[in-house]
Amino acid sequence: MAAELQVLRSDPQQFVRTAPVAAQPLTTASWCARQGWPVHPLAPGRKTPVGNCEVCRVPGHARGGCDCIRAGRWCHGFHAATLDFDRIRQWWGSRPDLGVGVATGPAGLVVIDVDAHACELPDRNRLLPGVRIPPGIDLTGLANGFHTLGVLAALRGAVSPADDESTLRVRTPSGGLHVWYRNDGGHRWQCSSGSGSGRALAWQVDVRAHGGYIVAPGTVTSAGTYRRVGPTRMPAPLPVWLAKELERTGHLPPASVPGPRPVPPRARQAVLAARGAGGTTGDRVLTGVLAEVAACGAVPEGAAFSEKLNRAAYTAGGLVAAGHITEAEAVRVLRDAAEQARPGQRSRCLAIIRGGLSAGLARPLSLGGRA
């Protein structure tokens, strides 16, 4: 066992390749978290998340206010994904039969999911949405997503992602392929599933990004193991040509300007509860920035949550430096507002809070002597 632990510390990937199957999920989940990829458990032997508890299965249950996520339980699948190593050890340490899923959006990943299902070929106008394939072109032999993706790449003068040896590729038990890319451009690419949905890249080609998850390499299901293809172990940046195709096929959310939102009462209550005050100028300043953080809870994506939390922490740091609030009080109300907006992201939020507070502490916030 000591030798195995030494391998785990020096080369986690070597441990994944050589350790017993029962020991791999915890190692895989920990390695993914070290890459900044939030993870969540999959049901034993399956590629789907572990089922919710009885309370969370009740019709009408609201995920946003779910106590299970706050308590560190795995209800709600990829919405419960975490980078918290203590939670990861709690989940997979006690249940090594669970598989590993990665929440692709928060991980900054775009995964091209290529299928090879045996089914009837659809009309040629559905093979590549938005791309007309003239009647004179012979489609004999075209049978699955590998082919349609290859045709799309050929039309763009590019290498098919299925053949892209520069990035992580994972063979699925059904004969498909997951091609992993990094989302370095900051776009909030959306998931798609099949050419019958509102967005699609190609027939039998799905996209896993915001609003979805992907099965981690090494995960074992009843159908087989998700195995890495080739020597490349890390995702490469999303190719420019492929990003253009994703934009063309509707994989970006529509641009919108959110209207003004009311100040959530919990934000102000959190400040006043921590301060025991009736509302000084310092309280009002902090309440305002906390309200922006808490209001992100009404916008699951695209709300600039990290930026707003950092700004609130910076402001709180200035108030602490000026003596308007203690650091412990600041951390408490910031964590309350962050948890309200983004349940289950405790470690990530605390890192943002600590960074913003540290910067703000160097710049005492002057309130004109009115606080």
pLDDT for 194 equals 45
Query: Does 325 score more than 90 pLDDT?
Result: no
**Quick one: what percent of the chain has pLDDT higher than 70?**
81
Q: Which of 127-136, 265-274, 288-297 comes out lowest in average pLDDT?
A: 265-274
Query: Does 37 score more than 80 pLDDT?
Result: yes
pLDDT for 253 equals 82
pLDDT for 324 equals 83
pLDDT for 82 equals 93
Average confidence (pLDDT) over 333-342: 86
Higher pLDDT, 65 or 21: 65
Helices (H), 77-144: 85-94, 104-107
For the chain, which residues make up each domain, given as ranges? 2-100, 108-248, 265-361
pLDDT for 274 equals 44
pLDDT confidence tier of residue 66, bands split at 50, 70 and 90 = confident
Contacts of 65 (CB under 8 A, 6+ apart): 343
pLDDT for 280 equals 57
Average confidence (pLDDT) over 94-108: 94
Average confidence (pLDDT) over 145-159: 95
Rounded Cα distance, 73 and 57, in Å: 14
Average confidence (pLDDT) over 97-126: 92
pLDDT confidence tier of residue 108, bands split at 50, 70 and 90 = very high
pLDDT for 368 equals 53
* Mean of the per-residue pLDDT values of the chain: 82
pLDDT for 166 equals 97
Average confidence (pLDDT) over 181-192: 91
Tens of pLDDT along 121-140?
888 888 999 898 888 878 88
Average confidence (pLDDT) over 333-338: 88
pLDDT confidence tier of residue 303, bands split at 50, 70 and 90 = low
Dihedral (CA of 6, 9, 14, 18) sign: positive
Rounded Cα distance, 199 and 252, in Å: 10
Q: Which of 3-7, 183-187, 243-247, 306-310 has the highest mean pLDDT?
A: 243-247
108-248 to CATH, choices 1.10.357, 3.30.2250, 1.10.10, 3.90.550? 3.30.2250
Higher pLDDT, 263 or 360: 360
Average confidence (pLDDT) over 213-239: 95
pLDDT for 313 equals 87
The separation between the first and the last C-alpha atoms of the chain, rounded to the nearest angstrom, is 60
- Are the CB atoms for 19 and 27 separated by under 8 Å? yes
Query: Does 295 score more than 90 pLDDT?
Result: no
Average confidence (pLDDT) over 309-321: 86
**Quick one: what percent of the chain has pLDDT higher than 90?**
46
pLDDT for 315 equals 87
pLDDT for 301 equals 58
pLDDT for 321 equals 87
Rounded Cα distance, 274 and 370, in Å: 20
SS3 per-residue string spanning 222-272:
CCEECEEECCCCCCEECCHHHHHHHHHCCCCCCCCCCCCCCCCHHHHHHHH
Give the residue among 353, 324, 326, 318 at the shortest CA–CA distance from 339.
353
Higher pLDDT, 135 or 172: 172
pLDDT for 48 equals 94
Average confidence (pLDDT) over 64-87: 89
pLDDT for 304 equals 72
Q: pTM for the full model?
A: 0.65
Tens of pLDDT along 341-365?
888 788 778 888 888 888 888 888 7
Rounded Cα distance, 83 and 260, in Å: 32
- Are the CB atoms for 132 and 125 separated by under 8 Å? yes
pLDDT for 177 equals 97
SS3 338: helix
SS3 169: strand
